[in-house]
Amino acid sequence: MSAAPSWERVYAVVRRVPRGRVATYGQVARLAGLTNGARQAGYALHALRPHTAVPWYRIVNAAGRISLGDVAGAVTQRLLLEREGVPFDAAGRVDLARYQWKARPRRGA
DNA sequence: GCGGTGACGGTCG
DNA sequence: CCGACCGCCACCG
């Protein structure tokens, strides 16, 4: 099954990210079931359509930084996150230790 | 069908 | 702490 592209799987995970939280590409990739790792997750978001209802802006790299190459897009992403209550430090990084989304680990731990 | 590239990640210096 | 290099593998030309 899974006739649909793997990207749909990624979008589904991204949609699960709650407001005011962020997730890393690797995290999303793993939750999406991507064996290749984070790179494909980034590709999936790259292929994302602007009109798609997916909070792509909640996805940052493992360093808590915006990996987007497009400067305008990066600014937009940061703005949207700050708007949700996710602050950036002087280095333009998010405190993943506090704001990284904790995926529902089948029962808390 | 082959080669280069990339919304990354982890490790080394 | 930060910067640089290599590695993985799917997608595009």
CATH class label, A3-99: mainly alpha
pLDDT at A6 over 80: no
Q: CA of A63 vs C1' of C1, distance in Å?
A: 13
pLDDT digits (tens, 9 = 90+) for A53-103: 999 999 999 999 999 988 888 999 999 999 999 999 999 999 999 999 998
Q: Count helices and strands (H / E) in chain A.
A: 5, 2
Find out whether A67 and A60 touch, Cβ atoms under 8 Å.
Answer: yes
What pLDDT, on the 0 to 100 scale, is given for residue A97? 93
pLDDT digits (tens, 9 = 90+) for A35-47: 778 999 999 999 8
pLDDT band per the 50, 70, 90 thresholds, residue A104: confident
Asked whether residue A67's C-beta has any atom of DNA/RNA strand C within 7 A, the reply is: no
Domain boundary assignment for chain A: 3-99
Chain A residues 43-62 with Cβ under 7 Å of strand B are: 43-46, 48, 56, 59, 61-62
Amino acid at A109: A
pLDDT digits (tens, 9 = 90+) for A20-33: 999 999 999 999 98
